[in-house]
Amino acid sequence: MSKLNGKVAIVSGSGRGIGREIALKLASEGAAVVVNDLDAEPANAVVKEIQAAGGRAVACTGSVTDADFGQRFVHTALQEFGGLDIIINNAGYTWDNVIQKMSDEQWSTIMDVHVTAPFRILRAAADHFRETAKADAAAGQEIFRKVVNISSVSGVMGNAGQANYSAAKAAINGLTRALAKEWGRYKVNVNSVAFGLIKTRLTEAVAGDSATIDIAGREIKVGVNAQLMKNVEAMIPVGRGGTPTEAAGAVYLMCIPESNYISGQVLVVGGGRP
């Protein structure tokens, strides 16, 4: 049997990149998945891909930074699939600058998407986790549920030009450790996975500075200078950046029964580079 049969997962930012691979991996192991993206088209495409493979999935589109999103995300899982067992806080992006050039908007926007949004999602799930834990205990069962917050090595070691992103990812690690202590009695494992270089559209090598993505009407520069990318990969012990599929595998490890006694941890996934 698949390890996640009967489980229900919500994965923010799962229409593309690492989030998409996480959603596909969890679904392939039996979980029903609520897929999220800013835009309906990529979210629905992932839903169709999961369904075509025999899995169960629905979309919950919209920005994770909307004040009501957390409640809506959790409600979708409860309404459509009758439960919630796994929360993956993955949605996010970078908006880099050195601190003397960083605007208040850059700071607050990155903090909102990487810290406030996960906080609201987790707060929205609190009553469900508490109630199901009580019901499990009354039935003489010990059933673990999982939270995986996506962090970064920038939040562990810091990174020049990313004061906002580094601070946000350090904060999500702090939230992870706090909730591991609050929710341990409810049999909820709360962990972070901190990625190093994972090759996605946000980090792919570019020849110039023209690569951008549109986030809520803002044109955000993405990509890494091609020579800088080579230099970074040369410092990774395994000799290359990771793939979204490999990133999803690390998240999956924190969702399966074998990780039931692991909580409050930050797992660095960087090919051997801290």
Nearest in space to 143 (alpha carbons), one of 90, 84, 192, 73: 84
Class of domain 8-269 (CATH, top level): alpha beta
pLDDT at residue 96, rounded to an integer: 94
b/e burial code for range 167-180 (CB count within 10 A of at least 16 → b): bbbbbbbebbeebb
CA atoms of 254 and 268, how far apart (whole Å):
12
pLDDT at residue 230, rounded to an integer: 82
pLDDT at residue 211, rounded to an integer: 65
Q: Which residues are known to be catalytic?
A: 165
Q: In what order do the strands lie in the sheet with 86-89?
A: 57-59, 32-35, 8-11, 86-89, 145-152, 188-195, 266-269
How far separated are the first and last CA of the chain, in Å rounded? Answer: 35
Token pair 């390890």 in the structure block, residue = 3
Q: Indicate the burial class of 30 (C-beta count within 10 angstroms; 0-12, 13-18, 19 or more).
A: middle
Q: What is the pLDDT along the chain (274 residues), one digit of tens a residue?
A: 699 999 999 999 999 999 999 999 999 999 999 999 999 999 999 999 999 999 999 999 999 999 999 999 999 999 999 999 999 999 999 999 999 999 999 999 999 999 999 999 999 999 999 999 999 999 999 999 999 999 999 999 999 999 999 999 999 999 999 999 999 999 999 999 999 999 987 676 554 555 676 776 777 766 666 777 788 899 999 999 999 999 999 999 999 999 999 999 999 999 998 7
pLDDT at residue 201, rounded to an integer: 75
Q: Which residues contact 133 (CB under 8 A, 6 or more apart)?
A: 185, 186, 187, 188
pLDDT at residue 25, rounded to an integer: 98
pLDDT at residue 220, rounded to an integer: 72
pTM as predicted: 0.93
pLDDT at residue 156, rounded to an integer: 97
Q: Indicate the burial class of 150 (C-beta count within 10 angstroms; 0-12, 13-18, 19 or more).
A: buried
